[in-house]
Structure 1
Amino acid sequence: YPAVALWHRYRLDNDLTFARRYWPMVKSAIDFVLTLQHPEGDISWSQEAFGTGADDAVLAGNASIFKSLDCGLKLADLLGEPQPAWRLAKDRLSCAIRNAPHRFDRLQDRSDFAMDWYYPALAGVLSPGASFARLEARAPRFAVLGRGCRCVASEPWVTVAESCELALALLSLGARAAACALLDAQLNHRDGDGAFWMGWQFAEQIVWPRERPTWTQAAAILAFDARLGASAASDVLISR
């Protein structure tokens, strides 16, 4: 995942020295992750489980790895160190996510989690048509009109981070009106200083939990930046 952060940082300030400084870390990290890729293309959730009865591939995690490979390849080209093996690995991973759903979440059904629903669209793995079809098919389970995106389909709980990430996926597909409506709804989930609460339990009409995690703020910053085009890196998570 640091590949995405480093590419985002480079797009913000064009600091080639900074990118070159952290490139060895990104390269080592991606090389390690790819040692856990199966011939079918999916990537195991842990080194300890790889090749054992506990082996599994998490769909949301693999979609994130796809985006990481995309940014890693951009960094590689920028720094003059092409990584053809990464490109092949990315293609195999894409093929698995698109065509081999049985390779993912084999030991645990994670379809109740919003991240498993929208991450393949958010990461740009699927075609626009397939992304729209996936989002539309499961929207009734997760989308709550005027509130946001449920974190878990079976719970009356919308979360700001998931809502903002879903908005990013919608922006990447050109569904700007839907994305903006989703982001506008998140403005209701802030404290007196403007920080975002983690979520809203709409059955009981309460903020829950009363926490303001850093990842929630980060998701909001990235999503509103993508909406407004405020920074030079505003398209990093919505470009295909």
Structure 2
Amino acid sequence: MTWIASVQEPSGAIPWYPGGPLDPWNHIEAAMGLDVAGCHAEAAAAYRWLARTQNPDGSWYAEYRDGQVTDSAKDTNFTAYIAVGVLHHALSTQNSSFLRELWPTVRDAIEFVLRMRSPEGAIQWRDSSSLFLISGCSSIHQSLLCAAAIASRLGSPRPDWIRAASELATTIRCRPDLFETKPHSMDWYYPVLGSAITGSTALRRLSGEWDQFVVPGLGVRCVFDQPWVTGGETAELALTLALLGDSRANALLADIEMLRHSDGSYWTGYQFANQVIWPEERTTWTAGAILLASAALRDDPAVHGAFKPLSLVSQGKPRYPIE
């Protein structure tokens, strides 16, 4: 999508919208959208921006604006997600040299995240908080497997990362009491999207809270207690369903076409009680999520590989049980 590229700054940074904030996770989701749209040079520039701005301990800060740090917290899921983006870019471009170039950045990011592990295997939200978030940990689970896939492809296998992912998945499935209770739809679908919960258990999870979060004809609520559907959450649930081969993904993407602007961008959300677009911003990460979901419906191999990374890690060796 050329609109995301038009928002990207000369440095490679992708803010939420022109002149807006940037956080590493949403920056990566937008970069993945660029690769889906064939803007591979722009996507590579986004990852090289991350490589240049990485902190010495392997992390990134939670928020930047105009090249300056505006939130100095260090979020673990923000930091880990570079592994997903870098693997997706390499699969999209078939460029193994890019994996070698970004390997030190990915390696250091994962090592930072693993230093935040609890004895139970959960990973704390950020360096300044002892909370565990189920959506963040589910995203980290996917990131660990993508990082392990990168390591395997470069001839530097990291079985410890696979073990950490296995322990994290077990904790997500078996110790929900460890995680902060939140009303967000991400906490519902992200354990499935991040492959921490799979198979029939995943299908039961999605069915169990479908009516709480999905508004027929409009999309997915950001939080269950507010009359607000968002393009990002709707697209990510559609992505989750598309990866499972569930045809309901098509209907969800059709629902959020109401958020599409004439320039190809998407409004963040729609407050349906008052029937107004809210907030009045069009975000790069919303567009990125929609592009990823659409690509998954087309069975794009790079998207399926990045969101089903366990098969890329194993290469004929025993896989850890996650059902």
TM-score, scaled relative to structure 2? 0.69
Contact 1:169 1:238 in 2 (8 A): no
Counterpart for residue 9 of structure 2: none
Contact in 2 for aligned 1:97/1:125 (Cα 8 Å): yes
Could you tell me which of 207, 229, 232 is aligned with 2:277?
A: 207
Cα RMSD over matched residues?
Answer: 1.3
Aligned partners of 2:289, 2:225: CA distance in 1, in Å?
23
Residue of 27, 34, 40 corresponding to 2:114: 34
Residue type of the alignment partner of 1:213? T
| Residue number in structure 2 paired with 1:236 | 305
- In the alignment, is the contact (CA less than 8 A) between 2:146 and 2:306 conserved in 1? no
Distance across 2 between alignment mates of 1:28 and 1:234: 24
Q: Does the CA-based 8 Å contact 1:168-1:237 persist in structure 2?
A: no
Q: Equivalent residue of 1:210, what SS?
A: coil
On the 8 A contact 2:86/2:99 being kept in 1, the answer is yes
Query: Matched residue of 1:44: which SS?
Result: coil
Deviation at 1:237, TM superposition (A): 4.9
| Mapped contact 1:171–1:238 kept (Cα < 8 A) | no
Q: What SS does the corresponding residue of 2:160 show, helix, strand or coil? A: helix
The aligned residue for residue 52 of structure 1 is none
Select the residue among 132, 156, 163 that pairs with 1:81: 156
Distance in 2 (alpha carbons) for counterparts of 1:76 and 1:222? 24
- CA–CA distance in structure 2, aligned partners of residues 47 and 147 of structure 1: 37
Counterpart contact for 2:83–2:147, Cα < 8 Å: yes
The count of corresponding residues between Structure 1 and Structure 2 is: 229
In structure 1, what residue type is equivalent to 2:154?
L
Q: Deviations over 1:105-126 (max 9, x none)?
A: 1xxx21x101111100111111
Partner of 1:97: 172
- Selected match of 1:135 from 199, 206, 225: 206
CA contact (8 A) 1:168 1:238 kept: no
Aligned partner of 2:68 in structure 1 is none
The SS at the match of 1:234 is helix
SS at match of 1:235: helix
Q: Percent identity?
A: 39
C-alpha contact 1:226 1:238 (8 A) present in aligned 2: no
In structure 1, the residue corresponding to 2:209 is in which secondary structure? helix
Structure 1 pair 238–47 and aligned structure 2 pair: CA distance change class (3 A): closer
Instruction: Output the CA distance in 2 between the equivalents of 1:198 and 1:12.
Output: 26
Q: Read off the aligned partner of 1:60 and give its amino acid letter.
A: S
Hey, what does 1:225 align to over in structure 2?
295
- What's the CA shift for 1:127? 2.0
The unaligned stretches of length 5 or more in structure 1 are 50-54
2:263 maps to 1:193: yes
**Aligned partners of 2:283, 2:127: CA distance in 1, in Å?**
28
Which residue pairs with 2:34 in the alignment?
none
Structure 2, unpaired ranges of 5+: 1-80, 311-323
Pick aligned residue for 2:226 from 155, 174, 189:
155
Alignment of 1:86-125 (within 5 A): 86-105=161-180, 109-110=181-182, 112-125=183-196
User: One-letter code of the match for 2:135?
Assistant: A
SS of 1:187's equivalent in the other structure is helix
User: Of the two structures, which has the highest relative contact order with CA contacts closer than 8 Å and spacing of 6 or more?
Assistant: 2
* 1:189-211 deviation line (CA, Å, top 9, x unaligned): 11122311111111111111111
The answer to whether the 8 A contact 2:229-2:271 is kept is: yes
CA distance in structure 2 between the partners assigned to 1:8 and 1:89 by the alignment? 21
Aligned to 1:236, the other structure's residue is in SS state helix
Which range moves more in the overlay, 185-194 or 118-127? 185-194
Secondary structure, counterpart of 2:263 in structure 1: coil
User: Is the Cα contact below 8 Å between 2:220 and 2:229 reproduced in 1?
Assistant: yes
- Spell out, residue by residue over 1:63-117, the C-alpha distance to the aligned partner (whole angstroms, 9 max, x if none): 0000001111110100000111111111110110011111111xxx21x101111
1:238 Cα deviation from its structure 2 partner: 4.5
Distance 2:259 2:142 in 1: 28
